[in-house]
Amino acid sequence: MAGFATYPSLKDRVVFITGGASGIGATFVTSFHEQGAKVAFVDLKQADGDALMSKLGGNAWFQTCDVTDADALQGAIAAAGKALGDVTVLINNVANDTRQVTAEMTPQAWRKDLAVNLDPVFIASHAVYPMMKRAGGGVIVNVSSINALLGPEKLAGYVAAKGGINSLSKTLAREWGVDGVRVNALSPGWVVTPRQLELWLTPEAEAEWMKQVALKTRILPEDIARLALFLASDDSRMITGQNIVIDGGRT
């Protein structure tokens, strides 16, 4: 963490992260752990989760979970709470940005997009709320996307879900603020992860992206995690109901 902020208020906080075994999610896990938080995370990828756990040492908890299964996700949150204590920081990170031509999209494919990208945000938030209320407050950070603002083609379900996250974040912030629960969304631009490099971030695509941004440099997972740390900390105690964009000046 040398050269970047540390947040004493995050020490010993119990943080629950969805999709935490790889990509941006793994960076969330390690970043909160480095701040002294107790970190629980779920993911479908058993091997990746186990590998990350081996690097973390203590104050960490991992369980495989299909977040589209409401009972499984609720059960995982309850188990994490039992193992580490009441969850007072939730990072709703899990997502899938598979591309598909909208005219060729079936209702089943549409429903699958929402089941992965939107439903778990509500389910996990609903599950942690009683813990946060009991603890006297908490923070929910929902990972959205600038695609909800831009509306790119071939991402109809994903974009609809991310737009839903933005609106849901405002509603939860207003409804749960009385209990000291803050809720914000953060909207990254094109973050360089192994998945993006493997599937879509070609040299040509990156060159086009660089033409559209003010800051001519890559957005890294660490950039997103640092914003999440701030939003989860007491330093941002009066920030709620916001969608904070981190895209190098694209929008």
List, for residues 218-232, the tens digit of each pLDDT value. Answer: 999 999 999 999 999
**Tokens representing 176?**
């749960």
158 noted as active-site residue: yes
pLDDT for 117-171, tens place per residue? 999 999 999 999 999 999 999 999 999 999 999 999 999 999 999 999 999 999 9
Measured CA to CA, the distance from residue 198 to residue 208 in angstroms comes to: 17
In the set 7, 62, 158, 176, the catalytic residue is 158
Q: What is the pLDDT of residue 2?
A: 53
Residue 78's SS3 state is: helix
**Tokens representing 108?**
């089943």
Count Cβ atoms below 10 Å from residue 14 Cβ, excluding itself. Answer: 25
Domains within the chain, CATH numbers bracketed: 8-245 (3.40.50.720)
Mean pLDDT of the chain: 96
